[in-house]
């Protein structure tokens, strides 16, 4: 499957999927012992009805699997959707799985997300969270340099600890955490994917996570065009 690049080093890769818009239709119609072999206008109307009226269980019969490489700050925000997937809106949707690389077992070269000088954002004026416009380039350049130096120092101390025989699971304490890239597999139902997208494509979502949400949408929209359009419509 194709890889969609995100940020400076990250990516989203659709590993596998099961089903299509027709899967949603047939899951809904099984109670009437009926089945569609090709998606018809009548089927499209059914999908619209299901999404509009909140009949979400048919959307959980279609599945997706992604490999994601993203900064830890994005991963931990994303992880909340797995933890809460069995509870949100009372759906009982537990068709979700997450497996992440661990520096307890691997010592591959650490990679970090370092925004360019023009990418650092100011604090928002009317909120305690989120971000505003880009800060002045000169100030951004200063803090980008300081972040790079901080990361390099952490990597140096991490490598020194490993060289001295300290175990990987403790040596990783020297690595700056939030910007460090991690890799994981995310398997989720179409409903869970749509819920994630509905939240993280919003204008007030963290910009970095928005970029990953756009990549997820680009990956799955060709597979479930009707269902996603309806699940994400206002």
What residues act catalytically?
200
What is the secondary structure of the chain as a DSSP string?
A: --EEEETTTEEEEEEEEE--HHHHHHHHHGGGT---SS--HHHHHHHHHHHHHT--GGGGGSEEEEEEEEEHHHHHHHHHHHHTTTTGGG-----EEEEE--TTT--PPP-B----GGG-BPPPSS-SSS--SBPPHHHHHHHHHHHHHHHHHHHHHHHHHHHTT--HHHHGGGS--TTBEEEEEEEEEHHHHHHHHHHHSSTTS-HHHHHHHHHHHHHHTTTSHHHHHHHT--
Whole-number Å distance between alpha carbons of 13 and 29: 32
Q: Which residues pair with 69 in a beta bridge?
A: 11, 183
């Amino acid at each position: 499957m194709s890889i969609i690049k995100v940020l400076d080093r990250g990516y989203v890769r659709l590993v596998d999927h099961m089903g299509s818009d027709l899967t949603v239709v047939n899951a809904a119609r099984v109670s009437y012992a009926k089945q569609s072999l090709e998606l018809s206008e009548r089927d499209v109307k059914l999908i619209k009805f299901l999404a509009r009226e909140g009949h979400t269980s048919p959307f959980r019969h279609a599945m997706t699997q992604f490999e994601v490489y993203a900064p830890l700050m994005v991963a931990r925000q994303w992880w909340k959707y797995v933890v809460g997937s069995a509870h949100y809106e009372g759906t009982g949707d537990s068709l979700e799985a997450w497996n992440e690389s661990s520096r307890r077992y691997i010592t591959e070269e650490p990679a970090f997300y370092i925004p360019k000088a023009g990418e650092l954002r100011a604090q928002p004026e009317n909120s305690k969270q989120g971000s505003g416009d880009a800060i002045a380039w000169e100030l951004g350049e200063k803090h980008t340099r300081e972040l790079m130096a901080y990361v390099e120092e952490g990597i140096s101390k991490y490598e020194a600890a490993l060289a001295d025989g300290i175990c990987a699971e403790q040596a990783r304490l020297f690595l700056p955490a939030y910007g460090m890239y991690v890799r994981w597999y995310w398997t989720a139902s179409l409903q869970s994917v749509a819920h994630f997208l509905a939240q993280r494509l919003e204008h007030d979502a963290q910009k970095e996570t928005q970029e990953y949400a756009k990549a997820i949408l680009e990956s799955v929209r060709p597979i479930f065009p009707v269902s996603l359009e309806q699940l994400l419509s206002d």
